[in-house]
Structure 1
Amino acid sequence: MIQSIRAACAAVLVMAGGHAVSETSLKILSFDELDGWAADNHEAAREVFLNTCGDFEAPDWQSVCSAASGIEDARKFFELLFRPVLIEDGAEPLFTGYFEPELNGARSPYGQYRFPVYRMPPEARGAGPWLTRRQLETSGVLSGRGLEIAWVDDSVELFFLQIQGSGRIRMSDGSTIRVGYGGSNGRNYSSIGAELVRRGVYNRHQVSAEVIKNWVRRNPVAGAELLRHNDSYVFFREVSRVAADKGPLGAMNRSITTMRTVAVDPKFTPLGAPVWLEKDGEGPLRRLMIAQDTGSAIKGAQRADIFFGTGDGAGKAAGRLKDPGRMVVFLPIQRAYAMLPESIL
């Protein structure tokens, strides 16, 4: 094992593509410093890693991926070829959960099915910050253009579908379609839970997805205005090639895995990298996950979103999660050391 090394860097390049992150600190850990490491199911984590590691372009990542199936013992594979790197940016760690929602819908609008799920309009691509949620919902700029994938029966569930970024829609004819992230209006995400706290409606510890949904439904006019407090608006695409027994597509365009996939900020954590998660709070979690997804609200070196699966049960469990802890990124050995300033090597 290696000695712990602390580095405070003015600018650290984390991804192969070169995202500059200021005032970031790095610490290379030994595997003995990972709480619960020996008790995890390393083989389950390796299987998930193999689902997406073939998409790496950098030679060092490609080499690690090639070796992933050749080393019989999964724990030994991770310990031989990676180094755990604690990346911090000064912000408090925060771990939340997300899931794949299931909505009720129809191919054409009728009755209760009156809230459209839109594809991204061509003029929005590459436009930078585009129209706000309020402008998109009130101007009619999207309607009558054939951009509708489906119509659903609940505007609140549609809002949370946009937060999750993917989901299933059970159609009135008995069929089911899957939708995935198709782009956004480029506006910053604003938490409506935080807005309810700011207004004094709830205390911070009282807020959850279910609490927000119920409040909006009890207050339809004020609730619609509350949802428009979030300028961010997500568009979708129909995803028909994913089998029903597979997870939804993540940011790497591969199916994600319940309780093994984590959404991260790719400015700090390369997509596809193994991530050791030490979640504290209620129901502590110590598990090796794979960074296969992103999210508009997932910003920072110690910010992560755990995928809980599909449906209402997964949604309730994910909605309750808001805990501290620690996240440690696994990087190929040479890459980990190359990130450190020469003065401390």
Structure 2
Amino acid sequence: MLRALGAALALGLTMTGSAGQAETTRSLLDFEDLRGWAEDDHAAALDAFLETCPDLEAPDWSALCAFAQTEGDEDPRRFFELFFRPVLIEDGRPALFTGYYEPELDGARRRTPRFRYPLYRTPPELTRNAPWLTRQEIATSGILEGRGLEIAWVDDPVELFFLQVQGSGRIRLQDGSLIRVGYGAGNGHPYRSVGRELVRRGVYEPYQVSAQVIRNWVRRNPAEGRDLLFHNPSYVFFREVTEVPADRGPLGAMNRSVTPLRTVAVDPAHVPLGAPVWIEKDGQTPMRRLMIAQDTGSAIKGAQRADIFFGTGAEAGRRAGRLRDPGRMVVLMPIQRAYAMLPEPLQ
């Protein structure tokens, strides 16, 4: 059938990048080249694809989505094999897989002796035209206090810091109800890694640093820990997310809920949002899985750079924080698009 058309193809398409950048190559593969393909749960991947494919406007993507909605669940693996071709996109940089998650913090709507660290809405004087106050200046000046900008209060300033790093999360109130918060705005200062700062100070070696290690160090060293968090001048303001139920996944870059271990954040300069992506993650816990490119991230740059969504809560955070593995990522493109990538024949 259609997959036989490309059997044994390993044709690379080279695109000239801008000055100083490596060239980008695209190679058509066959599904038999994808390690572990036959063993995956393609129905779970199809469910994630259906979450965002109705928002894809190009005619070929729209047609594939319509077919998936009506007939794709009869044989999900066959659906992907019949209408897509695997494309390996490389830009000279090694593949790197990391993980992200949605934090869940304990909190309250009003300040109490336990819950005394606020999540703020965007202040009206913040503009996009110039950097505002730094994290340290916001914390020490009291400029946001008493203005009714608080969405909720939490009990752990370290977890609040990581909530800002992630950009979204959930607050579990004492009655069991949930508040979901999303990114509202930033203060205009660049993110600076506190993990790298710990390495620079000689506290840890690079291979020792993880989110949990940072948490533990800050809690053991309150004064120095507060100073360490101030090393990152970036500060995030939140908005309360009401357009999606709090018990569903957070919103990704496509403004739809993301799916644990089926959503991947990518660089949209190389991988189109909404596309299926085959993951071959190596490392201590190898992963062979079909995911959907439904999110982006400021640190996710490159053709072989991906961030895997692990879910919500502390355990998801521990798993995501440990991940920093090599491997390979292959994008599934509609078959006509994949073949359109072939170079023109030489005259």
Q: Same fold (TM over 0.5)?
A: yes
Do the aligned partners of 1:97 and 1:306 also contact (CA within 8 Å) in 2? yes
Instruction: Give matches, 1:210-221, under 5 Å.
Output: 210-221=212-223
CA change 1:139–1:84 in 2 (3 A) is farther
CA change 1:177–1:78 in 2 (3 A) is same
Counterpart Cα distance in 1 of 2:126 and 2:278: 37
Residue 65 in structure 1 maps to residue 65 in structure 2: yes
- Aligned twin of 1:208: 210
Deviation at residue 191 of structure 1 after TM alignment: 2.2
Deviation at residue 260 of structure 1 after TM alignment: 0.8
AA at the equivalent of 1:76: R
Residue 10 in structure 1 maps to residue 32 in structure 2: no
TM-score (norm 2): 0.88
Consecutive unaligned residues of structure 1, counting only runs of 5 or more, are 13-20
Deviation at residue 87 of structure 1 after TM alignment: 1.7
The DSSP-based 3-state class of the residue aligned with 1:80 is: helix
AA at the equivalent of 2:75: D
CA change 1:340–1:174 in 2 (3 A) is same
Counterpart Cα distance in 2 of 1:116 and 1:67: 47
CA change 1:5–1:344 in 2 (3 A) is farther
Do the aligned partners of 2:170 and 2:246 also contact (CA within 8 Å) in 1? no
- Write the deviation string for residues 147-166 of structure 1: whole angstroms up to 9, x where unpaired: 22111111110111122222
**Equivalences, count:** 337
The DSSP-based 3-state class of the residue aligned with 1:177 is: strand
Residue 32 in structure 1 maps to residue 32 in structure 2: yes
Counterpart Cα distance in 1 of 2:206 and 2:285: 20
AA at the equivalent of 1:194: R
AA at the equivalent of 1:169: I
Residue 91 in structure 1 maps to residue 93 in structure 2: yes
Residue 250 in structure 1 maps to residue 242 in structure 2: no
Deviation at residue 139 of structure 1 after TM alignment: 4.2
The DSSP-based 3-state class of the residue aligned with 2:298 is: coil
2:83 to 68, 81, 84: 81
- Aligned twin of 1:103: 105
> What percentage of aligned pairs have identical amino acids?
66
2:200 to 198, 201, 205: 198
AA at the equivalent of 1:44: A
RMSD: 2.4
Counterpart Cα distance in 2 of 1:126 and 1:79: 45
Consecutive unaligned residues of structure 2, counting only runs of 5 or more, are none
Residue 50 in structure 1 maps to residue 60 in structure 2: no
Counterpart Cα distance in 2 of 1:208 and 1:243: 31
- Write the deviation string for residues 107-136 of structure 1: whole angstroms up to 9, x where unpaired: 222313222212233454543655443344
Counterpart Cα distance in 2 of 1:304 and 1:182: 24
Counterpart Cα distance in 2 of 1:190 and 1:36: 37
Instruction: Give matches, 1:80-159, under 5 Å.
Output: 80-124=82-126, 126-127=128-129, 130-159=132-161
Instruction: Give matches, 1:210-289, under 5 Å.
Output: 210-289=212-291
AA at the equivalent of 2:88: L
AA at the equivalent of 1:5: L
The DSSP-based 3-state class of the residue aligned with 2:136 is: helix
The DSSP-based 3-state class of the residue aligned with 1:308 is: strand
Counterpart Cα distance in 2 of 1:117 and 1:244: 17
Do the aligned partners of 1:188 and 1:296 also contact (CA within 8 Å) in 2? no
Deviation at residue 140 of structure 1 after TM alignment: 4.0
Counterpart Cα distance in 2 of 1:122 and 1:28: 50
- Aligned twin of 1:15: none
Counterpart Cα distance in 2 of 1:7 and 1:153: 53
CA change 1:34–1:122 in 2 (3 A) is farther
Counterpart Cα distance in 1 of 2:223 and 2:23: 43
- Write the deviation string for residues 186-243 of structure 1: whole angstroms up to 9, x where unpaired: 4433322122122221112211111100111112222122222223322222123433
